[in-house]
Amino acid sequence: MSQTPEDLKYAVTHEWVKLEDDNIIKVGITDFAQEELGDLVYIELPEVGRQLAMEEQCAVVESVKTASDLFSPIAGTVMAVNETLADAPEQVNEDAFNTWLFSLKINNKDDLENLLDAEGYEQAIS
């Protein structure tokens, strides 16, 4: 497993969050999650403009082994989705921490404090 990046925040449901400008976050799944899932074959992403509550089911990743729901780590509005994943979901397997799935304009920046840091996430998965 790769090193868990220190500059990201993590949900116990295996999503990572990177804070961008203007309360926009990028969301992806962790390297641990993609390893557990195996080779990804399909990713269903939320619609742009959709309002998401914290911990709301919002996307699905399917692999050769299983399908898994993804949850919004923070409440906000979907601003963009990574459309390249429709034709190449394996990008997540190749580089999980640099392949974002969708971005959110978050409602409350303080909600980031509810997420784990890299050390906390490592403890959660060990």
pLDDT at 62: 96
Q: Is residue 105 part of a domain?
A: yes
By residue range, what is the domain housing residue 85?
A: 9-125
- Give the C-alpha separation, 48 to 41, whole Å: 22
pLDDT per position in the chain (126 positions), as tens? 458 999 999 999 999 999 999 999 999 999 999 999 999 999 999 999 999 999 999 999 999 989 999 999 999 999 999 999 999 999 999 999 999 999 999 999 999 999 999 999 999 999
- b/e string for 29-66 if b means 16 or more Cβ within 10 A? bbbbbbeebeebeebebbeeebebebeeebbebebeee
What's the domain count of the chain?
A: 1
Q: Is residue 3 part of a domain?
A: no
Q: Is residue 29 part of a domain?
A: yes
- What is the value of pTM for the model shown? 0.94
Structure tokens, 24: 């926009």
Q: Is residue 80 part of a domain?
A: yes
- In contact, 104 and 46? CB cutoff 8 Å: no
pLDDT at 60: 96
pLDDT at 2: 55
Q: Is residue 2 part of a domain?
A: no
Read off the CATH number of the domain in which 35 is found: 2.40.50.100
pLDDT at 1: 45
- In contact, 24 and 99? CB cutoff 8 Å: no
Q: Is residue 14 part of a domain?
A: yes
